[in-house]
Amino acid sequence: MALKTFIEAIRETLADEMRRDPSVIVLGEDVGKKGGVFLATDGLWAEFGDDRVIDTPLTESLIVGASIGASMNGLRPVAEIQFADFIFPAFNQILSEAARMRYRSNNGFGVPMTIRAPYGGGVHGALYHSQSVEAFFAHIPGLKIVIPSTPYDAKGLLRSSIRDDDPVLFFEHKKMYRSVRGDVPDTDYVVPLGRASVTREGSQVTVIAYGLMAHYALEAADVVSDEGISVEVVDLRTLRPLDRETVLHSVRKTGKCLVVYEDNRFGGYGAEVAAMVSEEAFDYLDGPVTRLAGPEVPGVPYNHALEDWFMINPEKIADAIRRLAAY
């Protein structure tokens, strides 16, 4: 067991899986000698060489398309998209090919590939380096969507993703790379896909979140606890498949549900969670299922004050908890 940052957990998992399985390769923009824009692949090229750590052109459709072909021919690619904001040129490859290959081949072919992409704001990255894009992909059957919030989960979930026989999108909140630390075992453990984690037990309000928002939800829960409000926090960890059982069990216990996500509110991932809770736990609710999300503007502003206005933070979550608890 050792204390690791989020990015260290990612980097070590990639190296461990490449040592364990020679079919695992890494490809993307600047992932080789440079080690990636965030240094997530730092040191991999020196150990594994050009054949397994492949620098690509600045062409996301090529990165994903080549990964699909490689995965159908015996390899397990881990493709890095430098920023999630740039993933859209590869959207057709992900939607029309990777997600549908098993279905359209009558289970004849799988696509065992992982796409890693840093997402999220709060880092002064402005419009093209701050987007939350998970809702676009969670809509698509055939994809698995993973968003860890701790170094422990990052390592266990990335292992599970690489070893999975179907395509996985693995989103990493860039603000957590070096700001979040936690104990990580040295053992070859996995965290199964599709299982949420109750990170704080409570009795009055359930807060459902993922990624950076899972940390902010815990901070907000600590604040309102001093005011006598008992909050249960559920960290989804995997958005698809969604752990319906854990979410519904928590909401049926507390009777109130707040869903927190960083993306725009309209059509965001939290809308699906809210709909599920409303449909399947209605008789247990003591208040409206509530969403707290980003404002309806096209992107995260560059200006610090406006960026703070856009971003969800612990104070905003605490205020939403108070309002829902008082309903």
Three-state SS annotation for 103-140: HHCCCCCCCCCEEEEEECCCCCCCHHHCCCCHHHHHCC
Alpha carbons 291 and 151: distance in angstroms, whole number: 27
* Cα 48 from Cα 124, distance rounded (Å): 34
Query: Which residue is associated with the tokens 């959207």?
Result: 91
CB burial string 96-123: b at 16+ within 10 A, e below: ebbbbbbeeeeeeeebbbbbbbbbbbbb
Distance between alpha carbon 240 and the CA centroid of its chain, in Å? 10
129 assigned to active site: yes
**Number of Cα atoms under 13 Å in the Cβ half of residue 153:** 25
Tokens 């928590």, located at residue: 250
Q: What are phi and psi of 293, to 5 degrees?
A: -150, 180
Spot the catalytic one: 129, 215, 249, 304: 129
Q: Among 142, 122, 145, which Cα is nearest to 243's?
A: 145
Task: Please give the full DSSP string across 239-304, using - where no structure is assigned.
Answer: EETT-HHHHHHHHHHHS-EEEEEEEESTT-HHHHHHHHHHHHSGGG-SS--EEEEE-SSSS--SSH
Q: What are phi and psi of 27, to 5 degrees?
A: -145, 150
231-235 and 181-184: which strand pairing? unpaired
* CB neighbourhood size of 206 (10 A): 28
Which residues are known to be catalytic?
A: 129
